[in-house]
Structure 1
Amino acid sequence: MNRVDLQNARWFKSSYSNGNGSCVEVARLRDAVAIRDTKQHGTGPVLTSTAEGWRAFIASVANGEFGEL
């Protein structure tokens, strides 16, 4: 697995975030998408995905493939 440079990542929260601290942040990177939990305050683990994989995941969520939100 390749290391991803997160030093210059610009993180953003979902527009569906309700501000209670239970949010997911996403950063678009050159060749990947990075995802992290805001409760970790930038110190926790970061998941990465290809852009295509991230789009497929979001489409699956929107289509209800993982159950009701």
Structure 2
Amino acid sequence: MTTESPRWFKSSYSENGGACVEVAVNLANTHGTVPVRDSKNPVGPILNVPADAFSSFIEGVKGGGWGTA
């Protein structure tokens, strides 16, 4: 069992408006998941996304697959 702690970060594209999420991709290899949390509530719930699903999501964002709102 690993005792590695999550290293949380926000995207450099995040604005300071507070509507951000933080991710801890350092756990992807050891845990197989990428923890995601609300940056406004760092002690709140954490969503553990499967690493392969998170990777697919990031590739879709980079490829512009979802357009803009």
Same fold, TM-score > 0.5, yes or no: yes
Equivalent residues in 2 for 1:17-56, closer than 5 Å = 17-28=14-25, 29=27, 30-31=30-31, 32-40=33-41, 42-56=42-56
Q: CA RMSD in A?
A: 2.4
- Structure 1: which 4+ aligned runs deviate by more than 4 Å? none
The percent of aligned pairs where both chains have the same amino acid is 44
Q: What's the secondary structure of 1:11's corresponding residue?
A: coil
- 2:62 maps to which residue? 62
How many residue pairs match? The answer is 64
Give unmatched runs, 5+ long, in structure 1. Answer: none
TM-score (norm 1): 0.72
User: Distance in 2 between the 1:17 and 1:9 partners?
Assistant: 19
TM-score (norm 2): 0.72
**RCO comparison, higher one (Cα < 8 Å, 6+):** 2
Give unmatched runs, 5+ long, in structure 2. Answer: none
Higher helix share: 2
1:15 aligned to which of 4, 7, 12: 12
User: Distance in 2 between the 1:36 and 1:65 partners?
Assistant: 23
User: Distance in 2 between the 1:66 and 1:44 partners?
Assistant: 28
